[in-house]
Structures are given as structure tokens and as C-alpha cells.
Structure 1
Amino acid sequence: MSDPVGSWRPRRALTAMASIGWALAAASAPAQTAPPFAQLYNDTRNAPHQIALDAEVDRAEGLARQAQARPNPTLSVMTENVAGQSPYRGFDRSENTLQVNQAIEIGGKRSSRIAAGTAGVVAANARTRDARLAYAYDLAIAYGAAEIADRRIELAEDEVDEASADMRAVRALVQAGKEARLRRLQVETEVNALRALVDAARAERVGAYARLAALAGEETGFTDLAEPLLPRFETKTGYGPIDPLQTAPYLAAKAERDAARQRVSAARRQANPDLTVSVGVRRLETDKANALIAGLSVPLPLFDRNRGNVDAAEADLRAAEARDAGTLLNVKAEIAAALALNEAADARMAAADRTLLTAQEAYRLARIAYEAGKSPLLELLAARHVMGAARGVVLDAAAARLEARARLAHLDGTTITGEPVQ
């Protein structure tokens, strides 16, 4: 399919002042060309958003490693039977003990904690993939917005060129006495108004490129795009299918649910008391002899059975299960909507193409009729306005198709250009 958005006639220069002003504005700050979208996305690994996502996974992995740690042993030194009354006034009858105490986790506390940490890493990776897909969607929309901003400038400049050509035709007819001077003033006023629209479109372009650079983590900014994105999308006969159970949002919610279950298990096992084994050696100064000592202690779970943490973990689990079920419903609805929107976007694009072709032909015939004196100026202006509106409709349809493709790619687990996101 041809790309009517990019098939507008080559632009002619506007005015010297506008060109110089735009050149000075572009040269006032260092900038660069944005690479093709796929390369730009791959180059954003050091963007602040991506770094934050990597840190979230690193945090979960650190917690998982910590969950594997065993309790540290305790070393104690104790002296008895000293600094008392006779015969314990000195150190002659002292008993000195060197002891090592080691807590031993029983009841599956450590294994459940490790399982919860591992599930947390899985959940963090799932959340990160979903967030990367959302970032790829946002980047595609920003990239398309920059391209659309360029196209809007082209559209506005084309309208200025065509209005200027109409103005020259009107001036010729005024000089020949076939049109009133008022008509020339009307056309000149319209040309000036269209030139103001060009300036507004350029200002919008600056904002669009600034947002793209900020999202990509580029401080120098972009001035243009290395490769257009809009022409990549062709009309398709069908879309899908997409398995809702394999979408990133659902997999993230499912991983969160599984991690919550593991945390409940860990909280319940945390109530099991730890067994503390003590081993040491005691020096008996009275007998001038050494003796081994050993002990075993276990706390009585009379007051603290970790019920508050268990209740909190169970509440988190119920919330995670509800989010999991809700996410699945939302994903199914999103898939149905995305498939329908892509079909509609293709139909809208085809209709916009036909509308533009009809409007261009109507303007051409109106121009011929006006120059031949067979139609009034108002018909020519109306035909040109319709053609300008048709170009805007084509551009809006292209933007809608870009957004529809980006939504579908997000659900399908890829970027808008088809690269898988991990």
C-alpha cells in the first residue's frame, strides 16, 4: 500500500526570515539523529527507567541470597566465683568458661525462606518484563509523535505553498480587473494565518523530540529520525491469536500470587522455635582442671507465635489472588479490544487514503475552474480547506494505527517493530 502521508508534494521554501529563525533555533543546542526504533530501544539500556528496573531485580536477588544465610554462632566468655567473700575473694577458686552457641532452625524455616526469596526473584523478573514492554510502548508512541510532528510541519508548509499559489492567481486576476481587491486581501490574510500554523507546528515538534530524548535517556536531544516508523505498518487480513495466559501483565500477576503464597508459608514456619546448641570448655582453678560443657535450649512459644505476620501475609495473598483474577479478565478484554482496534485502524487508514485522493482531485479541478473564471474564489478556498483537512485525517489515521500496533505488540510481548522483550 502506498503511503499517502509521505506522498505530499515537495515543499518549497517559505520565507527567508522563518528559515533563518528555525536554523538558529536548531543550532542553539547540540543534537543528534535518533536511530531507527529497534536500535534506539536497544540503546536505552542505560536510560534511567531501565536502570531502575534492573535495580528492582538486583534487589530481589540480594534478598534471595540473604534468605540462604544461616544464623551466626555466638561466642561467649564467662568468669564465675570471683571478687566475692572469702574464700572467693581472688581468682584462686574462679571458674572460667569459653562457650559457643549455635542456633539451629527447625521446622523448615530456612527452606521456606529460601523458597520465598526465589519466588520473589521470579516475580521481580516478571514485573520487570511487563514494565519493559510498557516502556517499549511509551517509547514507540514518543517516536511516532516525533515523526507525526515532522509530518504536521510538512502538511502546514504544503498548505502555505498552495495558499501562496492561490494568492498569486488572485493577484493576477485582480490586476486584470477580473477580481475585486478584497479577494486579494482575503487570500493574503489566510496565507499569514497558515504561516502562523507552521510556527506552531515547529514548536510542537520541539516538544515531541524533547520528550523522545528524555524517555530514551539522551541529554543532547534529537533533531530528526534516521528511519520513519509510520510506513512500516501495512494492512493485514487478521491479527492474533494472543494467549492471555502468556501475556506479560498476567504472568507478572501470577508470579506475584505465587510469591505471596511462599511468604505465607515462610511466615507460618517462622513461628517454629529455634533450637540452640551450646558447647564449651570450663577451667576450674580450684582443681586446676578443664571440663567440657554442653547444653540445649529451646524457647517456649507462649506469647509470640508470629500470628500478626501470618495474618498480614495471608491478607497479601488474598490481594494477590484478587489481582491475578482481575488481571486475567483485564488482559482478555485488552486483547479483544486491541484486535478490534487494529482492524478498525486499517479500515480507517484505507478510508482516509481514499478521502485524500478525492480531495486532491477536487482541489485540482477547482483550481482549473477558478483560473478559467468559471467558479468563484470561495469554491477554490473551500476545496483547498477540504484537502488540508483530508491530509490531517490521513495523519490522524496513521497515528491511530501506530498506537493500535503498539498496544497489540505490548500484549504480544514484543516491541512495535517485532523484537521480543525479555
Structure 2
Amino acid sequence: MHPLYRRPPHRAVGCALAALAVALASPSWAEPAPSFATLLERIGQTPSALEADALSDAAEARVRQARTRPNPTVSLEAENALGSGPFDGYASAETTVSLSQDLELWGRRRARIGAATAEAGTAALQRDLAMVETAGRLAQTYADAEAAGRRAVLAQEGLALAVADARAALALVEKGREPVLRGIQAESEAAAARATLDEAQAERDAAFARLTAVAMLSRPVTAIAVSLLDQAAGPVVPSLTTVPAVRVAEARRTAAERRIDVERIAARPDVTASVGLRRFEAEDATALTFGVSLPLPLFDRNRGNIDAARADYRAADARLAQARLDAVADRAAASARLGASASRVAASDAGVSAAEEAYRLSRIGFDAGRIAQLELRTSRAALINARNAAVDARLARVRAEIDLARLEGRAPFEGNP
């Protein structure tokens, strides 16, 4: 065979070997991320958790404010002073100092406290829900980073396999057992493997950057020391009442019901009592004054606010019914997905073992000249796909565990070592 037609395969393998050398020349240092359990202990420092805590504290403060009685009113009034005739100057003046107080009759204060307490209970449950959702986001980010790291390693191994196969193809071309086209194809496969590796490394770096930000780590992480993809699911909580979304919906319905009581009582007259002391300058005498005042409900009986509160309650009751239906359906679906994902992991692991054996036999057959390069390429692609499918299966199991944990009101993998 003419030497000029042998150079492309040589250059192909040379380029692939150079690419492999660059790929394998990764930094010798790595900053491992803390384990997911360790990060879970710091979840109270995340912005979402701090926001939920602040909102809960605000609701508790409003309960304290609701328990406070209204301030009394002090008034000073002067009559028959600085006029004309007998009322000239201040000699005939009548000066009254009085103190008035809203009596808060009809259970007004009790209703106000009840509504504020119900709102505080809702805020506390929303805080718990926010903690669960934050834990789920952290678990998803952690698993995504680990999966991206594994895919980068698999892409690096894929490049090594492509280079090794190209070297074997070159040897057969040199011996005249394969056409030059096989060398060109090997160069194309090596270039594609290199591009796949570059993409996987970029995804890995981005995933680790997201993990560093979400976990609020002071130093960028570049590796996962404790696997989350290989962990078993957390314990199943059988009671439906633990579903945070249902509990929040129940608390919101209770708060809406309490607001109806507040609006009903607001329709009743607001009674104010007063007592005072009046000074008569002309007689040089004093006397007590006292009285009661209340508005006449002729025009405003708060009907609009009462109807609005009742409508809000109906809406909250409908949301609660929907939340219960969704909880039953979502829980069944999440449990099914978790069980299916466990089977998928086992099946994908078996597929990897079979694909590795198939590639090994294909490589032996190719080196011996018993099978074509196309079959070797097919078995190598099947091996790469099987290994990536195993990573995808474990990632799907983590997502199923996150969904089920959210419905059960716990952190994903809680209680696992």
C-alpha cells in the first residue's frame, strides 16, 4: 500500500493520543464536597430557611400584638371661656379632663387573637414545608453534581476506548487487513469522543459550581467523596396526615374560618366608655363625668367583608380537598417510581456487566480479525450507553426519593448513614 495513504490513520491516532493525554492530565488536587448528611445539618443557614424563620417570627409577633388591649384616650376640653359678657376671660369656664377606653365587647379581642394564632400556625407549617423543599433542592443539586462527575469519568473512559480501538484499527491497516477508510473512521470517532469529554467536563464544572452556591460552601468543590447516588431510600412514613401540603392547607382553612368570626364581630358596635373630672371656675367646684359611646349601624354593617371572608373560607376548603386528592395520587406515584427506579438500577447494572463482556469479546475478535470494525464500534457504543444508563437510573432513584420525602414531610435519605 502506498505510504501516502497510511499517514491519515497515523495522524488520527496521534491526535487522539494527544487528546487523551490532555484529558488525563487533570489536576492532581480535588476539593471534595462535604457529605449530604453534613450539608443537611447546615440547612437552617440557607436563605430559604432564614426567610421562612423570619416569616414565622413575624406571625408570632402579630399574635403578641393581637393580645394587646387598645390604648386609652385622654382628652382635655374647655367650655365657656374667652368669650364676651359674662364669659369674658376664664372666670366662668368649665374644664373637663376625661379618660375613654374601648371595651372590646362581643369577643372582639378573643376573635382577633384566634385569627392571629391561626395565621401563626400556618406560617410555622409553611416554614416546615420550606425546610423540606430546601432539603429536596439540596439533594437534587448534590446528586446532579455527582452524576455529572461520573459522566465526565465515563466520557474519559470512552475516549480511552476510542483511542485503543483506533490503535488496533491502525495496526490492521498497516498489515493490509483493513482499508484506509477504517483509519479515517477511527479519527472521526476519536474526535467525537473528545468532544463528548469536553461537554461532560463543562457540565461537571457547572454542576459543582451550582452545588457550591446552593450549599453555601466557602471553597469551590471539585469532587464528591460520599456518594448519594448509591444510597438507599429513607424510611417510608405511612400516615397521610404528615404530608406538609395537606397540613398547610388545613391550617389555611382554619385561619380563613377564624377571619369570618373577626368580620362578624366587627359588624357589631364598638363600645367606648369614658370617665372624667369637670372643673367649674365660677362656682369653684368640681364634678365627675361619665358616659358611653357607640356608632349606630345604620349604613355599614360590614356585610361585604363578611361575605368575602366566607368566600375565602370556601376557597380554602376547596384547596384542602384538592391537596388531599393530590397527596394520595402523588404519594402512590412517588412510591411506584421509587420501586421502579430500584429495579431499573439493578437492571442497568446487569446491562453494564453484559456490555463490558460483549465489548471484551468483540475486541478479542477484532484483534484476531474475526469481526469487523463496525461490530467493535457498535459494542463500544453499547458499553458507553449502558454505563451512562446506570448513572441515569441512580439519578432517577434519587429524584423519586426526593419526591416521596417531600410528600412525607422529611428530608431525602434522612436517617441514612
Q: With structure 1 as the length reference, what TM-score do the two structures score?
A: 0.89
Moved more, 197-206 or 239-248: 239-248
Distance in 2 separating the partners of 1:116 and 1:282: 41
Is contact 2:49-2:130 (8 Å) kept?
Answer: no
Deviation at 1:389, TM superposition (A): 1.0
CA shift, 1:311, in A, is 1.4
Residue 92 of structure 2 aligns to a residue whose secondary structure is coil
- Partners of 1:13 and 1:228 lie apart in 2 by 32
Q: What's the counterpart of residue 363 of structure 2? A: 367
Question: How far does the alpha carbon of each residue in 1:168-208 deviate from its partner, in whole angstroms, 9 at most, with x for none?
Answer: 21222222332222212211221121111111011111222
**1:294 is matched with which residue?**
290
Distance (Å, rounded) in 2 between the aligned partners of 1:351 and 1:109 = 65
| C-alpha contact (below 8 Å) 1:240/1:339 kept by paired residues | no
Structure 2 CA distance, aligned partners of 1:162 and 1:32? 28
Q: Which amino acid aligns with 2:129?
A: D
Task: Say whether 1:138 aligns with 2:154.
Answer: no
The 3 A distance-change label for structure 1 pair 158 and 404 is same
Match of 2:404 among 405, 408, 414: 408
Task: Kindly indicate whether residue 317 of structure 2 is the aligned counterpart of residue 318 of structure 1.
Answer: no
The whole-number CA distance in structure 1 between the counterparts of 2:208 and 2:264 is 53
Tell me by how many angstroms 1:70 deviates. Answer: 0.9
Whole-angstrom distance in 2 between the partners of 1:90 and 1:343: 95
1: CA distance, partners of 2:400 / 2:93: 85
Gaps of 5+ in 2: 1-16
Q: CA deviation at 1:225?
A: 2.5
Residue of 355, 358, 361 corresponding to 2:354: 358
Alpha-carbon shift at residue 16 of structure 1 (Å):
4.7
Deviations 1:266-303 (A, max 9, x none): 11112222221111111111011222211122222222
CA distance in structure 1 between the aligned counterparts of 2:84 and 2:189, rounded to whole angstroms: 113
CA 1:240/1:41 → structure 2, altered by over 3 Å: closer, same or farther? closer
Structure 1 residues 13, 319: CA separation in 2 closer, same or farther (over 3 Å shift)? farther
| Contact persistence 1:14–1:157 (CA under 8 A) | no
**Amino acid aligned to 2:170:** R
Partner of 1:250: 246
How far does residue 38 in structure 1 lie from its aligned partner after superposition? Answer: 1.8
Q: What is the identity, as a one-letter code, of the residue corresponding to 1:412? A: E
Correspondence list, 1:339-358, <5 A: 339-358=335-354
C-alpha deviation, 1:220, in angstroms: 5.0
Partner residue, 2:226: 227
In the superposition, relative to structure 1, how do residues 97 and 419 fare at CA in structure 2: closer, same or farther (>3 Å)? Answer: farther
> Alpha-carbon deviations, 1:49-74, whole Å to 9, x = none?
11111122122112211211211111
In 1, are the aligned partners of 2:146 and 2:227 still within 8 Å (CA)? yes
The 1:76/1:410 distance shift into structure 2, 3 A limit, reads same
2:303 aligned partner, one-letter code = R
Counterpart of 1:39, as a letter, is: T
Looking at structure 2, the residues matched to 393 and 409 of structure 1 have their Cα atoms a distance apart, in angstroms, of 24
Aligned-residue CA RMSD (Å): 2.3
Q: Aligned to 2:102, what secondary structure does the other structure show? A: strand
Answer yes or no: is the 8 Å Cα contact 1:57–1:125 preserved in 2. Answer: yes
Structure 1 residues 32 and 166 mapped into 2: Cα distance closer, same or farther (>3 Å)?
Answer: closer
Q: Give the 5 Å matches for 1:81-96.
A: 81-96=80-95
CA shift, 1:406, in A, is 1.2
- C-alpha separation between the residues in 2 aligned to 1:272 and 1:394? 68
Paired AA for residue 185 in structure 1: I
Write the mapping of 1:4-403 to structure 2, written as runs, cut at 5 A.
15-18=20-23, 23=27, 33-218=32-217, 220-233=219-232, 240=236, 242-403=238-399
User: Could you say what secondary structure the match of 1:302 adopts?
Assistant: coil
Residue 14 of structure 1: how far off its partner (Å): 5.7
Counterpart-to-counterpart distance in 1, 2:394 and 2:342: 9
Greater Cα offset, 208-217 or 316-325: 208-217
* Further displaced range: 31-40 or 68-77: 31-40
Residues in 2 aligned to 1:414 and 1:92: alpha-carbon distance in whole angstroms: 79
What is the TM-score normalised by the length of structure 2? 0.90
Higher mean alpha-carbon deviation, 214-223 vs 117-126, is at: 214-223
The whole-number CA distance in structure 2 between the counterparts of 1:378 and 1:410 is: 47
In structure 2, the CA distance between the partners of 1:298 and 1:313, relative to structure 1 (3 Å rule), is: same
SS of 2:75's equivalent?
Answer: strand
* Contact 1:48–1:217 (CA under 8 A) maintained in structure 2: no
Give ranges in structure 1 of 5+ residues lacking alignment. 1-11
Helix, strand or coil at the partner of 1:77: strand
Cα distance in 1 between the residues matched to 2:220 and 2:265: 54
Question: Which range moved further: 366-375 or 213-222?
Answer: 213-222
Superposed CA offset, 1:33-92 (max 9, x none): 431112212213222211111122122112211211211111111111112121111111
Q: Which residue identity is paired with 1:250?
A: V
* 1:109–1:272 CA contact under 8 A, matched in 2: no
Separation in 2 of the partners of 1:71 and 1:40?
47
Equivalent-residue separation in structure 2 for 1:322 and 1:146 (angstroms) = 40
* Structure 1 SS opposite 2:260: helix
Distance 1:19 1:101 in 2: 85
Give the deviation of 1:210 after TM superposition.
Answer: 2.7
Amino acid at match of 1:102: Q
